[in-house]
């Protein structure tokens, strides 16, 4: 018994324990063969856990059998001998095929059957009652050992499973592209997933060395930031806390969570830089567009673009633009003030235009962007061999990477957008280059628009200046001409009246011609002056709701003597006295007088001149028609232009200079109306003055 106890106490491993059970108990009862049938988890069947000295085929036969096959329900030792009546089953028959007495020892733990130990004595031996106590003791010892082995095995299994689960988890965490790490309550790194390890390696840290180091000591710039706050709060309150942070060490954006875990805090962070950059670019472009819409000044636009890049996209930015002389020069720098100042100094000392291999020129000429992601003395010197001081400057300013992107709009390269990083841990990537290209593409459109707008503005201002100069000139000249003309009139009259002595008939006739020419000239000059004033915006309008009839009547009374003199008939329809228009009465009379004068001028004796009003709800058209020479179709528009006359030849001496219609149309339009013409060559013309009609309502009357 003591031997058995010792034999069962030694081994720990399940297989060794069950083997020890079978061997030691076989030895204890001097059995030839022994086997341990272990109850399966289902408690409905057995399997052979260990068999010693049984023939292989027998073991194979009974490898697994139903629990009911063994008579163990009593919990008592069963003895199968020649005279035994202990039931009949395949398992028992198999055992009995081996001669001699067999013992079946039920093994129980906590009153539960866990197995059956079979011991075959090999001889027909009767088991004496006093032996039974010993056999029961063997069963008890074996049961304890088996239970211990089973527990041990289960514990090992559980541990294996836990390890497996952990490995699986780690594998999963390693497979994700998001960063995951665990730190303890003091912030010491416990472990990282692969993405986190890669991230540290990329940024010059050895992740293995970081283990056990406190995050906040290693990366003090994180203290107080969103991730730090999230970790602290998750620790304090034991809840998961989300954070959203821009890295203070790299050019990246993170969205993540800090989760309380048994070891401390698990941090999960996703790099959302691309999305954020896209958002920032969109925002930047929206801001830039808004700013550009406010001022369409190209230089301001450029400065705006440059400023917008810092610090969201770069630490330093510049815009280079090709000037009118074809030379490229910087027009805006943005970044830290002292750096910007250094760059301007450098440009004064050694302009970029004089450094042909500068990447600005390359980007400009090739029309493609250039990324220098490894700024060092060697890389810069290789790029720009003729100006070693550029490498000095780049290193002095701590530049780590540079981007040069051409600004192309409508197929023309306007300039180059340049950006640089100055942060040791941050460099432009090919992805940044794409972003910069998109920014450049849109900026170029803005810049182009701003330039076009500026050019249009310049052209307009120039045209305005020219027009103003012309008007000023005309005004001055008209005035300067009128003074001596008045003098001519005065002195001629003096002579005519004989105040300077007697004048004969012929001289009087000559003086009359002088006076006539003077009047004509004065008329022309007045017209010129009128037009100049109108063109220069110097004419004041007093627009009211006025009745049409009195205006027409007043004009007709002025022109009728001329018509009579020319032998023309005048048909004037009676115009409704209540017809009101929105106009300046004096200007309307001027227009009508001009139209009537022309009608008289261009209609031969015997012809007819007419005036009538054509009205609808909103408009009044005053039609001045004649049966005169008419106007060729191709001249119908040009006659409204200043100084245009249809039959102007040097030989024809005509009244007027071709300004009457130009003035009249301007006046009509200034009153919200128009002046148009219809004509048939040789048959006559009809000019229509369009005016805005008003209705005499109580309100109108009151208003007036």
Interface with ligand ADP by CB under 6 A: which residues?
A: 598-599, 602, 626, 628-631, 639, 644-647, 656-662, 685
Tokens read off for 542: 């007093």
Element (H, E) at 142: helix 129-175
In the complex, least distance from residue 523 CB atom to ligand ADP, rounded to whole angstroms: 10
In the complex, least distance from residue 407 CB atom to ligand ADP, rounded to whole angstroms: 51
Nearer to ligand ADP (CB atom), residue 301 or residue 661: 661
Residue 34 phi, psi dihedral angles, 5° rounding? -150, 155
In the complex, least distance from residue 572 CB atom to ligand ADP, rounded to whole angstroms: 16
Element (H, E) at 268: strand 264-271
Nearer to ligand ADP (CB atom), residue 312 or residue 610: 610
The CB density around residue 377, as the number of other CB atoms within 10 Å, is 12
In the complex, least distance from residue 699 CB atom to ligand ADP, rounded to whole angstroms: 39
Nearer to ligand ADP (CB atom), residue 330 or residue 628: 628
| Radius of gyration, alpha carbons of the chain | 57
Nearer to ligand ADP (CB atom), residue 247 or residue 530: 530
In the complex, least distance from residue 653 CB atom to ligand ADP, rounded to whole angstroms: 12
Nearer to ligand ADP (CB atom), residue 285 or residue 631: 631
In the complex, least distance from residue 595 CB atom to ligand ADP, rounded to whole angstroms: 7
- Strands ordered across the beta sheet of 401-409: 328-334, 316-322, 412-421, 401-409, 370-372
Q: How many CA atoms lie within 13 A of 652 on its CB side?
A: 9
Could you give the CA distance from residue 395 to residue 379 in angstroms, rounded to a whole number?
Answer: 11
In the complex, least distance from residue 640 CB atom to ligand ADP, rounded to whole angstroms: 7
**416 contact partners, CB below 8 Å, separation of at least 6:** 319, 320, 328, 360, 363, 364, 404, 405, 406, 407
Q: Which is nearest to 683 in space by CA: 639, 632, 628?
A: 628
In the complex, least distance from residue 544 CB atom to ligand ADP, rounded to whole angstroms: 27
Could you give the CA distance from residue 19 to residue 536 in angstroms, rounded to a whole number?
Answer: 121
In the complex, least distance from residue 546 CB atom to ligand ADP, rounded to whole angstroms: 24
In the complex, least distance from residue 286 CB atom to ligand ADP, rounded to whole angstroms: 53
Could you give the angle at which helices 585-601 and 548-566 cross, rounded to 10 degrees? 20
DSSP string, 245-307: EE-SSSS-EEEEEEEEETTEEEEEEEE-HHHHHHHHHHHHHHHHHHHHHH---HHHHHHHHHH
In the complex, least distance from residue 465 CB atom to ligand ADP, rounded to whole angstroms: 26
Nearer to ligand ADP (CB atom), residue 440 or residue 611: 611
Closest-approach residue to ligand ADP (CB): 656
Nearer to ligand ADP (CB atom), residue 250 or residue 638: 638
The answer to whether 343 and 330 are in contact (CB under 8 A) is yes
Report which DSSP code applies to 443.
H
Q: Which is nearest to 660 in space by CA: 602, 613, 611, 580?
A: 602
Nearer to ligand ADP (CB atom), residue 25 or residue 686: 686
The answer to whether 185 and 262 are in contact (CB under 8 A) is no
Nearer to ligand ADP (CB atom), residue 6 or residue 614: 614
Tokens read off for 20: 């020890």
Give the helix ranges, DSSP H, for 536-636: 548-566, 585-601
Nearer to ligand ADP (CB atom), residue 251 or residue 598: 598
Burial of 585 (0-12, 13-18, 19+ CB in 10 A): middle
SS3 251: coil
Residue 311: asked if its preceding bond is cis (omega within 30°), the reply is: yes
Beta bridge partners of residue 47, listed in sequence order: 38, 64
Nearer to ligand ADP (CB atom), residue 225 or residue 658: 658
Could you give the CA distance from residue 361 to residue 406 in angstroms, rounded to a whole number?
Answer: 10
Nearer to ligand ADP (CB atom), residue 226 or residue 628: 628
In the complex, least distance from residue 448 CB atom to ligand ADP, rounded to whole angstroms: 43
């Amino acid at each position: 018994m003591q031997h058995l106890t010792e034999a069962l106490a030694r081994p720990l491993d399940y297989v060794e324990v069950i083997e020890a059970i079978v061997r030691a108990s076989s030895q204890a009862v001097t059995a030839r063969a022994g086997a341990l049938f272990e109850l399966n988890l289902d408690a409905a069947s057995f399997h052979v856990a260990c068999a010693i000295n049984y023939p292989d085929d027998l073991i194979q036969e009974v490898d697994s059998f139903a629990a009911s096959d063994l008579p163990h329900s009593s919990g008592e030792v069963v003895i199968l001998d020649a005279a035994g009546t202990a039931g009949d089953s395949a398992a028992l028959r198999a055992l009995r095929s081996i001669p001699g007495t067999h013992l079946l020892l039920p093994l129980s733990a906590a009153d539960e059957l866990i197995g059956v130990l079979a011991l075959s004595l090999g001889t027909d031996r009767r088991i004496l009652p006093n032996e039974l106590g010993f056999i029961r003791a063997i069963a008890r010892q074996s049961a304890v050992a088996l239970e211990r082995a089973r527990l041990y095995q289960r514990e090992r299994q559980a541990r294996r499973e836990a390890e497996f689960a952990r490995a699986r988890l780690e594998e999963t965490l390693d497979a994700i592209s998001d960063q995951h790490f665990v730190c303890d309550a003091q912030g010491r790194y416990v472990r990282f997933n692969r993405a986190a390890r890669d991230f540290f390696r990329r940024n010059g840290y050895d992740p293995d060395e970081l283990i056990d180091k406190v995050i906040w000591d290693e990366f003090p710039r994180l203290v107080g930031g969103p991730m730090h706050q999230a970790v602290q709060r998750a620790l304090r309150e034991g809840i998961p806390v989300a954070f959203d942070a821009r890295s203070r060490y790299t050019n990246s954006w993170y969205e993540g969570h800090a989760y309380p875990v048994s070891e401390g805090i698990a941090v999960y962070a996703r790099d959302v830089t691309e999305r954020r950059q896209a958002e920032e670019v969109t925002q930047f472009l929206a801001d830039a567009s808004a700013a550009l819409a406010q001022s369409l000044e190209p230089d301001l636009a450029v400065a705006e673009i440059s400023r917008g890049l810092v610090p969201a996209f770069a630490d330093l930015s510049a815009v280079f633009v090709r000037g009118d002389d074809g030379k490229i020069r910087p027009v805006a720098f943005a970044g830290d003030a002292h750096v910007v100042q250094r760059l301007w100094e450098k440009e004064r000392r050694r302009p970029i235009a004089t450094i042909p291999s500068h990447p600005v020129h390359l980007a400009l000429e090739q029309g493609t962007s250039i990324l220098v992601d490894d700024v060092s003395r060697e890389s810069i010197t290789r790029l720009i061999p003729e100006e070693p001081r550029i490498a000095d400057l780049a290193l002095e300013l701590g530049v780590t990477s540079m981007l040069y992107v051409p600004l192309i709009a409508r197929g023309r390269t306007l300039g180059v957008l340049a950006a640089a990083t100055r942060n040791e841990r941050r460099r432009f990537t090919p992805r940044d280059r794409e972003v910069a290209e998109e920014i450049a593409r849109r900026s170029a459109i803005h810049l182009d628009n701003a330039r076009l707008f500026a050019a249009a503005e310049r052209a307009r201002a120039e045209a305005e200046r020219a027009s103003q100069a012309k008007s000023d000139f005309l005004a001055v000249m008209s005035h300067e001409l009128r003074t001596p003309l008045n003098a001519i009139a005065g002195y001629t009259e003096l002579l005519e009246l004989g105040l300077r002595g007697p004048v004969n008939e012929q001289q009087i006739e000559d003086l009359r011609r002088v006076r006539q020419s003077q009047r004509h000239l004065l008329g022309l000059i007045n017209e010129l002056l009128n037009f100049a004033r109108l063109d220069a915006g110097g004419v004041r309008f007093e627009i009211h709701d006025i009745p049409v009839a009195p205006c027409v009547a007043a004009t007709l009374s002025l022109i009728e003597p001329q018509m009579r003199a020319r032998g023309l008939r005048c048909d004037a329809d009676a115009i409704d006295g209540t017809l009101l228009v929105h106009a300046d009465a004096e200007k309307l009379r001027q227009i009508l007088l001009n139209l009537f004068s022309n009608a008289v001028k261009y209609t031969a004796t015997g012809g007819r001149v007419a005036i009538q009003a054509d009205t609808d709800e909103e408009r009044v058209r005053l039609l001045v028609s004649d049966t005169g020479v008419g106007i060729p179709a191709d001249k119908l528009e040009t006659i409204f232009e200043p100084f245009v006359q249809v039959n102007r030849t040097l030989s024809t001496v005509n009244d007027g200079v071709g300004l009457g219609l130009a003035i009249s149309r301007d006046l009509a339009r200034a009153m919200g109306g128009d002046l148009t013409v219809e004509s048939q060559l040789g048959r006559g013309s009809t000019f229509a003055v369009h005016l805005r009609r008003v209705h005499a309502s109580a309100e109108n009357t009151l208003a007036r």
